[in-house]
Structure 1
Amino acid sequence: MILPNKYVTLTESYIGISALILETIADKKITVDKLWSKFQRKYILSKKINTYPTYQKFIYILEFMYLCSMISYTDKGEILNENLKVSN
């Protein structure tokens, strides 16, 4: 599930969805619920991806991203992309 293979497509894998989440975060600070709403509008409701994660899997992917140092959290609980400078 972490890496795509013969049975798990890129859009179902943690690595693939992580890239979409990082693109959604961009260079802003954002809370988890706002990030989920923005991710839904951008990818799920617009049907840009065929198979989409549940909210539970979305949280697991955020934990995976935190453990891999892709994202970090502020004291206020906002998520920010570790690879970019934050504008706010």
Structure 2
Amino acid sequence: MILPNKYTDLSKTLIWFGGIILNILGKKNLNIDKCYKKFFDIQKKYNQEISYEDYMKAIIYLYMIGAIEQDGEGGIYNVNFKSKSE
């Protein structure tokens, strides 16, 4: 699911996934694979199976709206915290 409508469970949308990713990043830099591992572990707690493709769509969404940036070393970070250390 990409965008919610009135019949959609929000926990299956890119907006929800994006919020989880921003929470995982916090004030840290993480490479995309480490972030996915943490994302996957969180989703397991909620008994949801999220594909890597949907995870990457959420990463692209966050990048497009300016919520995350790349650090030049293969990592991503939450621009709201502007910290570039892991």
Which category of TM-score, normalised to the shorter sequence, fits these structures?
A: 0.7 to 0.9
Q: Secondary structure at the match of 1:30?
A: strand
The equivalent of 1:55 in structure 2 is: 52
Worse overlay, 5-14 or 53-62: 5-14
Q: Give 1 or 2: higher strand fraction.
A: 2
The count of residues paired between Structure 1 and Structure 2 equals 85
Gap change, CA 1:4 and 1:51, over 3 Å in 2: farther
Q: Secondary structure at the match of 1:53?
A: coil
Worse overlay, 69-78 or 4-13: 4-13
8 Å Cα contact 1:4-1:10 kept in structure 2: yes
8 Å Cα contact 1:11-1:52 kept in structure 2: no
Does 2:43 align with 1:44? yes
| Superposition RMSD in Å | 1.6
The equivalent of 2:30 in structure 1 is: 30
What percent of counterpart residues are identical?
Answer: 31
Deviation (angstroms), 1:44: 2.1
Runs of 4+ displaced beyond 4 Å: none
Provide structure 2 residue ranges, at least 5 long, that are not aligned to the other structure.
none
